[in-house]
Amino acid sequence: MLYQSMAATHEYRCEVCGTKTNNPSHWFVIQCGASELTVLRWDAATADAAGARHYCGEAHAQAYISRWFDSLCSPPKPDFAGRS
């Protein structure tokens, strides 16, 4: 009797470049909100949590973190010292 594997493979996609994989080696998970951002090592439970974002490496995780900071810091603070 033949049995087919019931193990489901989950495919993840990098939020920056769109790379897809079902074997996320060296990937990162980021969970964030309006006032908090957390970078986590890859773990299937963490990656599958609601709101988790997936990044294929350190460079793309850093790109997202930079964008997140930019969104919190826009528009820039006014320069009350009168500098141009």
> Rounded distance, CA 57 to CA 44, Å?
16
What confidence tens digit (pLDDT) does each residue in 66-79 have? 999 888 776 666 67
Strands (E), the chain: 12-13, 20-21, 28-32, 37-41, 53-55
Contact between residue 32 and residue 38 where contact means Cβ atoms under 8 Å apart: yes
| Residue 7 φ then ψ, to 5° | -70, 125
Res. 83 pLDDT band, cuts 50 70 90: low
Residue-level pLDDT at 76: 63
What confidence tens digit (pLDDT) does each residue in 6-63 have? 455 789 999 999 999 999 999 999 998 888 999 999 999 999 999 999 999 999 999 9
Copy the structure tokens of residue 12: 């993840």
